Structure 1
Amino acid sequence: MRYFSIICVVLLISACSNNDWRTASRQPAGIATSPSEDNRAIIEFYAADAFSWRGWFAVHPWIAIKAEKATEYSVYEVIGWQVKRGLPAIRQYQTLTPDRYWYGSKPDLLLSIKGDKASILIPKIEQAIALYPWINEYSVFPGPNSNTFVAWIGLQVPELGLELPFSAIGSGYAD
C-alpha cells in the first residue's frame, strides 16, 4: 500500500507540465475568430483543464461574447482568488483572444453561436450574469465555482443548449 501511495504522489506531481502558474502558457489557442475578420455577434463557451493536478479531475470554463461589429470580445469567468481578495467572483475583461490557454491547458470550444441568434441571446446572457446569485462566494467543491457560474448561465438561457463536460465539477450546484 505504501508503494501505491508513493506512485500516486509522483503521478500527481508530474501531472502538470508547468508547476508555476506565473510562467504557464496563456497564448491564444487559435480557435476564436478575430473580431476584425467577423462582424457578426459571437457567443463562445470554452473549458480547459484546471491548473496543475486538478486538471485530472476538473475543468475551468469561461464565456466569450462579441456584439455585432464589436472590436473585442468580453470574457466572463469566476475566479476563486477574486473572492479571497474581497472582490466579486466574476472577472470580466476585454480581449482580442478569448481562447487563450488556461495556465498551460489548451481550451476546448464547448459551444459557438454566431450571427442573429447570438445577437438575440447576448442580452439574455448579460442579464443572467448580472443576476448570478453567488457573486461573493467561491468553493472548489461542491461549489459555487467557475463551473457553477457557466451552468447558471445555461439554466437561465436554455436556448443556448449548453452541455458541460462531466468534469465540470460544481455545475450541479446551480440546479
Structure 2
Amino acid sequence: MNIRYLLLCMVLLTGCSQNDWRSASRASSGLAPDPATTPEAVLQVYGASAYGWRGWFAIHTWIAAKPANAERYTVYEVIGWRERRGLPVLRIEAVDSPDRYWFGAKPELLLDRRGAGVQELILAVDQAARDYPWKNEYRVFPGPNSNTFPAWVAQQVPDLELELPFRAIGSGWAD
C-alpha cells in the first residue's frame, strides 16, 4: 500500500471528526461584548470552519446584532439541517452568546460595527434578513447556503460594507 495513500486516509478520517464539539459549541469565544456592560449598538459578522471535512476549505457565516441598551443579541443565520426537519433554513433567534463555537470551531470576527450609525444598520439588516428570498431553500453547493445569506444581506445593505472571505463558498451565488 502506498504510504501517501495511507496518510491521506488517516487525515481524512481524523479530519471528519472534530473531537467533542458538543461541549465546546455552547461556549462563548469571547468575541462578542457583554450586553450588560455594553450599552452601545453592536453589529458583528462571524465565520467559523464548516463542520467536518468541509472545514478544510469552507466556512459557515452568521450575523449578530444588539441594538443600543438591549439585553441580548439577535442571531441571523442559515442552517441546512433545518430544511430536513421541515423548518425554515433561516433562523432568527435571540441569544445570550452570539459568538459560540461552531461544531467545535472557534469563530473569527469578519465585521465589527459599534456606536454611531449602527442602530440604523441593525434595522436595515433585520429587514433584509426577513426579506431573504431563500429562507426555505438550502444547497451546500453552489447555493443558496449559509454564506449566500450574509452576502445577500450585504447587497441589500451596502452601508454594511461586508466583504466575505474566499472560503465563504456560496457567497457569490446570489450575484
Residues 21-44 of structure 1 deviation map (CA, whole Å, 9 limit, x = unaligned)? 545533111111000111111100
Give the superposition deviation at 1:17: 5.5
With structure 2 as the length reference, what TM-score do the two structures score? 0.93
Residues 61-110 of structure 1 deviation map (CA, whole Å, 9 limit, x = unaligned)? 11000011100000111000111111111112212211111010000000
Number of equivalences: 175
Is 1:78 equivalent to 2:78 in the alignment?
yes
Is 1:87 equivalent to 2:102 in the alignment?
no
Report the secondary structure of 1:64's partner residue.
Answer: strand
Partner of 1:61: 61
User: How many angstroms apart in 2 are the aligned matches of 1:129 and 1:96?
Assistant: 20
Sort the Cα spacing of 1:53 and 1:167 in 2 relative to 1 into closer, same or farther, 3 A: same
Report the secondary structure of 1:94's partner residue.
Answer: strand
Partner of 2:45: 45
Give the superposition deviation at 1:131: 1.0
**Structure 1: gaps of 5 or more residues:** none
User: How many angstroms apart in 1 are the aligned matches of 2:104 and 2:65?
Assistant: 23
Report the secondary structure of 2:172's partner residue.
Answer: helix
Partner of 1:25: 25
User: How many angstroms apart in 2 are the aligned matches of 1:145 and 1:30?
Assistant: 26
Report the secondary structure of 2:110's partner residue.
Answer: strand
Partner of 1:165: 165
Partner of 1:123: 123
Partner of 1:13: 13
Give the superposition deviation at 1:113: 0.7
Partner of 2:143: 143
C-alpha root-mean-square deviation of aligned residues, in Å?
1.7
Give the superposition deviation at 1:8: 2.4
User: How many angstroms apart in 2 are the aligned matches of 1:150 and 1:3?
Assistant: 42
Give the superposition deviation at 1:5: 4.0
Does the 8 Å CA contact 2:59/2:167 hold for their aligned counterparts? yes
**Structure 2: gaps of 5 or more residues:** none
Sort the Cα spacing of 1:5 and 1:174 in 2 relative to 1 into closer, same or farther, 3 A: farther
User: How many angstroms apart in 2 are the aligned matches of 1:16 and 1:104?
Assistant: 12
User: How many angstroms apart in 2 are the aligned matches of 1:63 and 1:75?
Assistant: 6
With structure 1 as the length reference, what TM-score do the two structures score? 0.93
Q: Comparing 20-29 with 124-133, which one deviates more in the overlay?
A: 20-29
User: How many angstroms apart in 2 are the aligned matches of 1:104 and 1:79?
Assistant: 16
